[in-house]
């Protein structure tokens, strides 16, 4: 078994690895040079930490086409960001239109509010590869539809939703986008796409460390925060301040992580988002093409050459996907993820529930040789009894 070669990481849909060197270097420098608590004091370390956060906020606003960086809120991941939006925007009697491809970070809060707050859900049907038809949306809207929630790129099949078309069909509802899998790779312009609430995570395509993420809130839209406490501003008040972004950012922030996230964004700017997208597209294309030549493999997702993310889900005849992931890791040094990927609804939609799929998710730092190695390993596993 070829286990002396370096390990191959193909779980970038979970979190990107490696991070660009400047992410670690920036974090190393920051933790050595300043005390990292912004906005709480007037001394130079606190002011420097404030500049780290402000700089990152400006970069995020610029990256997502948001004209006002005070509308950017940092959270610890996209899950928290989505929870702030879902809990803050929905009232009893509201209706939500969402898709059959959502992650549990959307489905769990929605199912909870369905039971406890009397909201109702409509789930848009998907194609067998996880696509949704934007033209279907107006058929499901009514006066009570408060929110449309869309997963931009599926973490299960790679299927991509056409946000520009959806934004044009949202009627009087607010559009919330889960950009966990697309931010950093695909164009995402809040204003151009008519997005009201854009939730992102920092540790995937944006190359930041885990523990970073946030949301952008369209100008004029307001909602209550999920957490309240010290913000370093209006400290004379015992009530939560009203101003953005402080009202949503209680407690000492993850300055270190946010500094790393800013370095990740800088890397994307330097490299070019389109360069990153094209490389991932090439790797996913190679993978899909190679998989089509392995008998017994079924790919659950859109074909190569269509608008899709780089995550590729597959099953191999009757073989257990957990066993496949185990064999890849132990015998070939290849890290992949098997199962439901925190998205049981998506697997129900594409008929791979409850076993799930084996997911291979190439990222910017993978090479064509690594994809060939994975294909060879799968071919060999397939030919073994
Ligand atoms: C589509 C989607 N939404 C939400 C999440 C949750 O991300 P996080 O764990 O960073 O909150 C993920 C992560 O896998 C995802 O792929």
For 208-237, how does the pLDDT look when each residue is reduced to its tens digit (9 = 90+)?
999 999 999 999 999 999 999 999 999 999
Distances (CA, A) of 377 to 34, 272, 343, 383: 47, 32, 27, 10
Predicted local distance difference test score (pLDDT) of residue 4: 65
Q: How remote is the CA of residue 201 from the centroid of ligand 1, in Å? A: 7
Model pLDDT, residue 41:
87
What letter would DSSP give residue 303?
A: P
Indicate the top mutation candidate among 153, 180, 183, 208 to test ligand 1's pocket, ranked by most ligand atoms within 8 A of CB: 180
Q: What is the pLDDT of residues 96-113, one digit of tens each?
A: 999 999 999 999 999 999
- Cα(176) to centroid(ligand 1), Å: 14
Confidence at residue 5, expressed as pLDDT on a 0 to 100 scale: 76
Considering the chain, what is the average pLDDT of its residues?
A: 96
Q: Cα 80 to the chain's mean position, in Å? A: 12
pLDDT digits (tens, 9 = 90+) for 304-320: 999 999 999 999 999 99
151 CB less than 6 Å from ligand 1? yes
Q: Is the CB of 181 under 6 A from ligand 1?
A: yes
Atom of ligand 1 nearest to the CA of 80: 11
Q: How confident is the model at residue 385 (pLDDT cuts 50, 70, 90)?
A: low
Token pair 């009697």 in the structure block, residue: 93
* Residue 136: pLDDT over 60: yes
Nearest C-alpha neighbor of 280 from the set 100, 380, 160, 132: 160
pLDDT in tens, 162-183: 999 999 999 999 999 999 999 9
Tell whether the model's pLDDT for residue 257 goes beyond 90: yes
DSSP conformation letters of 39-88 = SS-SSHHHHHHHHHHHHHHHHHHHHTT-S-GGGEEEESSHHHHHHHHHHH
Instruction: Look up residue 66 and give its two tokens.
Output: 């948001």
For 237, the 3-state DSSP assignment is: coil
All structural domains of the chain, each given as residue ranges with its CATH number in brackets, are 8-19+272-383 (3.90.1150.10), 21-270 (3.40.640.10)
Count of Cβ atoms closer than 10 Å to residue 220 Cβ:
7
98 ligand 1 Cβ < 6 A: no
Q: What is the pTM of this model?
A: 0.97
Given a cut of 60, is residue 366 above it in pLDDT?
yes
Residue pair 206/229 in contact (Cβ under 8 Å)? The answer is no
* Residue 24 pLDDT greater than 80, yes or no: yes
For ligand 1, the distance from its centroid to the CA atom of residue 238, given in whole angstroms, is 34
> Is the pLDDT reported for residue 2 higher than 70?
no
Cβ of 201 below 6 Å from ligand 1: yes
Q: In whole angstroms, how far apart are CA 188 and each of 183, 198, 225? A: 7, 9, 25
CA distance 242 to 219: 14
The position carrying tokens 């004379």 is 236
Measured CA angle at 39 (ends 37, 43), to 5 deg: 75
337 Cα: distance to centroid of ligand 1 (angstroms): 14
User: Contacts from 230-233 at CB under 8 Å and sequence distance 24+?
Assistant: 230/40, 231/39, 232/38, 232/39, 232/40, 233/39
Q: Name the percent of the chain lying above pLDDT 90.
A: 97
Residue nearest to atom 10 of ligand 1 (CA): 77
Assign 40 a pLDDT band (cuts: 50, 70, 90): confident
- Ligand 1 lined by 180 (C-beta under 6 Å): yes
Which ligand 1 atom is the nearest neighbour of the CA of 151? Answer: 1
What is the reported pLDDT for 353? 97
Yes or no: say if 97 and 148 are a contact pair by the CB < 8 Å rule.
Answer: yes
What is the average pLDDT across 5-9? Answer: 91
| Per-residue pLDDT at 118 exceeds 70 | yes
CA of 40 to the centre of ligand 1 (A): 31
CB of 12 within 6 A of ligand 1: the answer is no
SS3 327: helix
Dihedral of alpha carbons 21, 25, 28, 30, sign: negative
Q: How far is the CA of 295 from the centre of ligand 1 (A)?
A: 32
Q: Tell me, in angstroms, the distance from the centre of ligand 1 to residue 237's CA.
A: 35
Strand ranges inside 224-342, DSSP E: 297-299, 312-316, 334-335, 337-339
| Residue closest by Cα to atom 12 of ligand 1 | 180
């Amino acid at each position: 078994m070829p286990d002396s070669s370096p390990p191959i990481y193909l779980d970038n849909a979970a979190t990107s690895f490696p991070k660009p060197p400047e992410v670690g270097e920036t974090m190393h420098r920051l933790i050595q040079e300043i005390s990292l608590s912004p906005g709480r004091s007037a001394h130079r370390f606190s002011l420097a930490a404030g500049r780290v956060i402000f700089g990152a906020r400006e970069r995020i606003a610029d990256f997502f086409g948001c004209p006002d960086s005070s509308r950017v809120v940092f959270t610890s991941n996209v899950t928290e960001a989505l929870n702030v939006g879902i809990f803050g925007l929905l009232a009893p009697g509201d209706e939500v239109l969402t898709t059959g491809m959502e992650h549990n970070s959307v489905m769990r809060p929605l199912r909870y509010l369905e039971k406890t707050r009397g909201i109702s859900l409509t789930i848009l049907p998907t194609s067998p590869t996880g696509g949704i038809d934007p033209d279907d949306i107006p058929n499901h809207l009514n006066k009570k539809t408060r929110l449309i929630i869309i997963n931009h790129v599926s973490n299960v099949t790679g299927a991509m939703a056409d946000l520009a078309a959806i934004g044009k069909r949202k009627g009087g509802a607010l559009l919330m986008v889960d950009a966990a899998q697309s931010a950093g790779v695909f164009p995402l312009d809040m204003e151009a796409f008519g997005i009201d609430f854009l939730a992102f995570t920092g540790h995937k395509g944006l190359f930041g460390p885990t523990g970073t993420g946030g949301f952008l809130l369209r100008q004029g839209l307001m909602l209550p925060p999920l957490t309240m406490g010290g913000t370093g501003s209006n400290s004379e008040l015992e009530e939560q301040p009203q101003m953005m972004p402080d009202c949503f950012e209680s407690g000492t922030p993850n300055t270190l992580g946010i500094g790393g996230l800013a370095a990740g964004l800088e890397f994307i700017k330097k490299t070019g988002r389109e360069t990153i997208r094209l490389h991932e597209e090439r790797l996913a294309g190679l993978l899909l093409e190679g998989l089509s030549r392995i008998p017994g493999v079924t790919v659950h997702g859109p074909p190569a050459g269509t608008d899709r993310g780089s995550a590729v889900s597959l099953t191999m005849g009757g073989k257990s996907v957990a066993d496949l992931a185990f064999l890849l890791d132990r015998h070939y040094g290849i890290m992949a993820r098997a199962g439901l990927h925190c998205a049981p609804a998506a697997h129900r939609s594409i008929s791979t529930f409850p076993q799930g799929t084996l997911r291979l998710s190439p990222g910017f730092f993978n090479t064509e040789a690594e994809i060939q190695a994975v294909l060879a390993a799968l071919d060999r596993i397939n030919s073994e009894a």
